[in-house]
Structure 1
Amino acid sequence: MKTIKITGVPEHFNLPWHFAIEEGAFKEKGIDLQWKDTPEGTGKMCNMLREGETDIAIILTEGIVKDITAGNPSRIVQTYIQSPLIWGIHVASASPYREEKDLRGTKVAISRFGSGSHLMSFVHAQNMGWDTGKLKFEIVNTIEGAVDALTEGKADYFMWERFMTKPLVDKGIFRRVGDCPTPWPCFVIAVRNGLPEQDKNIVKHILEVINTYTADFKQIPSIDRTLANRFDQKTEDIREWLSLTQWSQSPMDRKTLETVQDQLLKLELIPEKLAYEKVVLPV
């Protein structure tokens, strides 16, 4: 039995992994897949891949592309979520800011530098016509940290996945003033380079299993209620989320990588574009 470490955010996107692990689907392939939740998000997972703390990460596309460009010894083996991530733009319930345009020049809470909340704040600022060089940041690590920072006035707004943040909106802790969808498929499966070098078939077997689960995921009876119960969501919100979410079973295509790198380069978040083969490893 080969032990493989994998990590991802504790969010609804990753429930297929938990189902597959719980049902022993990877062990049937001789793989002990050990899942670790990383609520800190993509910036933390990039560090985990660099340090060998994980073999695989289910990670935001823009974050891992940026970090590979910065020397992360990993590559993308597949797109995991084909649809965009819808980032909700949130302020504290008592905030004086009522609209997105009011947030110009204020401080944005981010989980850490290199995270999706960090990188997408640049995309949002560009969409709004703001000077991205004037963005100001407060590192909060987790969504709980963002609640504290916004409530205490240490930061003014916070970008996070809209549906996972909605319970905080429903409870009157946050107000959502807008949305910012990613201009590309949002999650990919990244592996540290040493893993396929040891045994390329391991990665292939893992992808075969998870692709079987994601292909049928929406057809699971009462999956909306299961997701709502596990992630403290309203069933109607989960149904909307399911209607907007599309899992992928395919490698990242060249056009998508080009789009991501062009945007990161334009925002001066990467110094150069890398060749497709340096970022993507089709298995």
Structure 2
Amino acid sequence: MKTIKIVGVPEHFNLPWQLAIENGEFEKENIDLQWSNIPEGTGKMCTMLRTAETDIAVILTEGIVKDIIAGNDSKIVQLYVESPLIWGIHVSVDSRYNTIEDLENKKIAISRLGSGSQLMAYVNADNQGWQTDNLKFEIVNTLDGAVQALTSGTADYFMWERFMTKPLVDNGTFRKIADCPTPWPCFVIAVRNEILDNEPEMIATILKVINRQTIDFKNIVNIDQTLALKFNQKTKDIQEWLELTNWSQNQLSEIVLNKVQNQLLELKIIDKKGTFEDIVKTV
């Protein structure tokens, strides 16, 4: 049996992987797929790909595109979630800030440099017409770190997937001021080039298994209740999230990749664009 390491955020998007592993779907293909949750998110997962701590990452599109251009020896092998990620913009419940306009030039809690929470802070600032050169960041690593930073006042606001932060809004820890959807599909599957070169058939098999799982995921009996219980969510919130979320079994298109790169370039997050062949590989 071949062993391969995979990482992703501990969020509802990745339950299809967990279920496929628990049900032995990869074992049936003679693959020992070892999943690790990475609460620090995309910045940490990019580092893990670079250092070969993982072979595969289920990762935010904009984050891995940026890091491949910066020298990460990996490629995107498929879209995973084609719908946008809806980022909630949050402040502490007792913050003096009440509108999105109040947050201009305020300090932003981010999980890590190069993370989705940092990149989307630039996107949001651009949407608001703010000077992106003025953005100030506080690295907090995890959602718990963001709670501490906003509560203590070392940061002023925090952007994170709005449904995962909803319990913190419901319990009076955060207030959500606004939403900021990604302008592109949110999650892709990235693989180190060494693995792609040496084990292309295994990667193709892994994609076949997970695609089979995601096609039928919404039809699993009581999946809304399962998700709500596992991720401390209200069932009605999960039902809304399921309506908004669409998994993909397709490759990232050149049109979408160009859209991502053009915006990252405009925001000075990257200083050059990569070719489609540099960033994407079909197995």
**Which band: TM-score by shorter chain?**
over 0.9
Which structure 1 residue ranges, 4+ long, deviate > 3 Å from structure 2? Answer: none
Q: Secondary structure at the match of 1:164?
A: coil
Q: Secondary structure at the match of 1:239?
A: helix
Alignment partner, residue 221 of structure 2? 221
CA distance in 1, matches of 2:278, 2:37: 27
Alignment partner, residue 169 of structure 2? 169
CA distance in 1, matches of 2:33, 2:279: 24
Point out where structure 1 has 5 or more consecutive residues left out of the alignment. Answer: none
Task: Summarize deviations over 1:197-256 as a string: whole Å, max 9, x none.
Answer: 112101000000000000000000100000000000000000000000000000100001
CA distance in 2, matches of 1:69, 1:213: 31
Q: Superposed, which structure 2 residues align to 1:35-50 within 5 Å?
A: 35-50=35-50
CA distance in 2, matches of 1:54, 1:5: 5
Alignment partner, residue 54 of structure 2? 54
Normalised by the length of structure 2, the TM-score is 1.00
CA distance in 1, matches of 2:100, 2:168: 18
Letter in 2 for 1:280: V
Alignment partner, residue 253 of structure 1? 253
CA RMSD in angstroms comes to 0.3
Normalised by the length of structure 1, the TM-score is 1.00
Alignment partner, residue 187 of structure 2? 187
Percent identical: 64
Q: Secondary structure at the match of 2:163?
A: helix
CA distance in 2, matches of 1:102, 1:189: 36
Q: Secondary structure at the match of 2:273?
A: coil
Q: Superposed, which structure 2 residues align to 1:188-203 within 5 Å?
A: 188-203=188-203
Q: Superposed, which structure 2 residues align to 1:39-188 within 5 Å?
A: 39-188=39-188
Q: Superposed, which structure 2 residues align to 1:16-31 within 5 Å?
A: 16-31=16-31
Task: Summarize deviations over 1:93-115 as a string: whole Å, max 9, x none.
Answer: 00000011100010000001000
CA distance in 2, matches of 1:196, 1:251: 15
Q: Secondary structure at the match of 1:122?
A: helix
Alignment partner, residue 241 of structure 2? 241
CA distance in 2, matches of 1:100, 1:214: 35
Point out where structure 2 has 5 or more consecutive residues left out of the alignment. Answer: none
